[in-house]
Amino acid sequence: MTAVDPRRPTAGAVTAVLALIGLLAALTGCGGAPHGAGRATADPAVQQLLDRRAAAVRLHDQQAFLAGVDPQATRFLAAQRRMFGNLAQVPLADWSYRLVRTDAFPLPPEAGTEGTRRTAAEVQLRYRLSGYDAEPVVSTSYLTLTERAGRWYVAADDEGASAGRRSAVQLWDQGKVTVVRGAHSLVLGLGDARTLRGYAADADLAVPQVQHAWGRAGWPGSVVIEAPGTLDQLGALLAADPADYKGIAAVTTGELGGSPKAPADRVLVNPAAFGQLSAFGRQVVLTHETTHVATRLATSTRTPLWLSEGFADWVAYRESGRPAPEIAPELAKDVAAGHVPAALPAAADFRPTSTDLAQAYEGGWLACRMIADQWSPATLTALYRAAGADADLDAVLRAGLHLSLADFTLRWREYVKQELG
């Protein structure tokens, strides 16, 4: 994620991918097993219903899609009609549903249901964007199904909330999606086309910068941006409290763990916070987020956040020509007051609500900048890859820099004082 500091025209904080693990399951369905073993329905008609709805989406057949909605669920029917229309421009390569389990949550009693059956189903949506996703993005929904006269219908997707089961929210659930294509980017947004074209232009400049720093192997060399219209919509996409992301300009999501079959990342933009940035700041943000897209397969839970965030900032600021105190103003103030950090930033420092958020990102950036300056950029990228594969950071530093973690920290503290003092 990228945090906005109103005292400067740039963004000093970037995507805390590892800190978002808990959000990713809700957002993409990745990284977690279904809730419990459950039981598969004995009636294949339920999966057949889901298959017909999926085929209708792929064929752009609204009538067939809505035929699978309970005709007595009038509000849900209207919402599904809007959602189908919102999808019209989205370039889908594939769209399918998989029934995970029935009886996924308790259903409240409903009056007037004589002669009908009701069941709650956990369903996975799997979709790919044409030209961008090698593997499907997966999200989970909790549906209410009704059977009338021997035929199954979808009647709701929100009743599971009372049991702690919330269906994942997608951009097209929130409004009509406008699509803008760039040379290296695809933007899906709810805003005006001019703003979305600006996102695409910034992303198109970011991709070559990232390729120069990280290389071309292991990532598609393109980025997908999702741009909700409001902060509340961003919070819904993240299944998070919008207030926690009020000062966050962008968030990058994706499955972690280095799986070659992981779906592509999405860069989610907070339009209000992003709009506060200067042209330079916007470019920094999207270069930073694109770096996370490129490095995802080399990033794991072993990668310290100061390294993943610092590396992304290093790529974003590498060609800026701006002095360290301008890029790290909060840490510079601390140093001027005689407060040099005693240790490298910890994971907790990168939380969106952390009071030391700016200092954490600035400290991580200086650590990566020091490695690139005092060793080489190639050494920095090699260290990044090694850290994602080895939980022993001390051993990684000894092998890559011939310094223990303690000695590296001391050297970094001196570098901070030297660059910001």
What's the confidence (pLDDT) of residue 21? 28
**Percentage with pLDDT > 90 across the chain:** 68
What's the confidence (pLDDT) of residue 13? 36
What's the confidence (pLDDT) of residue 394? 97
Flag whether pLDDT at 190 surpasses 50: yes
Flag whether pLDDT at 39 surpasses 90: no
What's the confidence (pLDDT) of residue 133? 87
How far apart CA 335 and CA 333 sit, in angstroms, is 5
How far apart CA 415 and CA 409 sit, in angstroms, is 10
DSSP 349-395: GGSTT-TTHHHHHHHHHHHHHHHHHHT-HHHHHHHHHHHHH-S-HHH
**Higher confidence at residue 159 or residue 144?**
144
What's the confidence (pLDDT) of residue 149? 87
- Share the mean pLDDT of the chain: 86
What's the confidence (pLDDT) of residue 247? 84
Cβ-contact 276, 202 below 8 angstroms: no
Residue whose entry in the numeric block shows the structure tokens 């409240």: 108
Q: Provide mean pLDDT across the span 389-395.
A: 94
What's the confidence (pLDDT) of residue 27? 33
Backbone angles phi, psi at 121, to 5 degrees: -125, 140
Alpha carbon separation from 285 to 46, 267, 269 (Å, rounded): 44, 10, 10
Flag whether pLDDT at 328 surpasses 70: yes
Of 40-49, 136-145, 273-282, minimum mean pLDDT range: 40-49
**Higher confidence at residue 202 or residue 21?**
202
Q: Provide mean pLDDT across the span 132-141.
A: 88
How far apart CA 247 and CA 372 sit, in angstroms, is 29
Flag whether pLDDT at 38 surpasses 80: no
pTM of the model: 0.84
Cβ-contact 234, 189 below 8 angstroms: no
Flag whether pLDDT at 262 surpasses 60: no
Flag whether pLDDT at 377 surpasses 90: yes
Nearest-10 crossing angle of helices 231-238, 21-28:
90
What's the confidence (pLDDT) of residue 113? 55
Q: Which domains does the chain have, with CATH numbers?
A: 2-26+177-420 (1.10.390.10), 30-167 (3.10.450.50)
Of 5-19, 51-65, 333-347, 404-418, minimum mean pLDDT range: 5-19
Q: Give CA angle at 58 (255, 119), nearest 5°.
A: 75
**Percentage with pLDDT > 70 across the chain:** 85
What's the confidence (pLDDT) of residue 10? 34
Residue whose entry in the numeric block shows the structure tokens 């292991």: 218
Cβ-contact 208, 228 below 8 angstroms: no
Flag whether pLDDT at 24 surpasses 70: no
Of 110-124, 308-322, 363-377, 405-419, minimum mean pLDDT range: 110-124
